[in-house]
Amino acid sequence: MACYVKASHIRSLLKGVSWRIVATTDTILVVLLVTCLSGHCSIENALKIGAAEFLVKLAVYYVHERIWEHYRKEGDTSTKRTMRKTVSWRIIATNMTFFISSVVFDSFNEIALFIASTELITKFILYYFHERLWLRLPLGRIRNYF
């Protein structure tokens, strides 16, 4: 009897929460680094951006996750798929970071651009490994036997 494993909605939600914890921590650190390097160190802005991202991106991440699950081919856990998924999320998330940072800093400026650019690199790496880790976790998998 063959078995096809799909991800449950709860798995997508848990995966989203775990990613947001990692990503929000990274965002706060990146904002602190960038603002301190520019001479305007601001933990307040770092926390504002981190909080806004946590809330907004959790919902967007969940939708992204469900779309990728819907179009996943049976058994496809390749590194190519992970890379494509990582790129698609980074395009969405980095643009959101730029927008959120611009709102917090009250203008589209080089600080917001530098935050988004730095995050693009750090989060690309973190997201890829987060995805690979979750491929190994059995939590929230639904098995369909046929």
Structure confidence at residue 135 (pLDDT):
87
Q: What's the first-to-final CA gap in the chain, in angstroms?
A: 6
Radius of gyration for the alpha carbons in the chain, expressed in angstroms and rounded: 17
String of DSSP letters for the chain: --EEEEE-HHHHHHHHHHHHHHHHHHHHHHHHHHHHHTT---HHHHHHHHHHHHHHHHHHHHHHHHHHHHTPPTT---HHHHHHHHHHHHHHHHHHHHHHHHHHTTS--HHHHHHHHHHHHHHHHHHHHHHHHHHH--TTEEEEE-
- Cα–Cα distances (Å) from 121 to 1, 30, 125, in that order, read 43, 11, 7
Q: What is the mean pLDDT of each run of 10 residues along the chain (146 residues)?
A: 65 93 97 91 93 95 92 78 93 95 86 93 95 86 56
The token pair that represents 123 in the structure block: 């989060």
Tell which residue, 17, 43, 15, has the closest CA to residue 30. 43
Q: What angle do CA 123, 114, 67 make, to 5 degrees?
A: 35
Structure confidence at residue 2 (pLDDT):
41
Structure confidence at residue 114 (pLDDT):
92
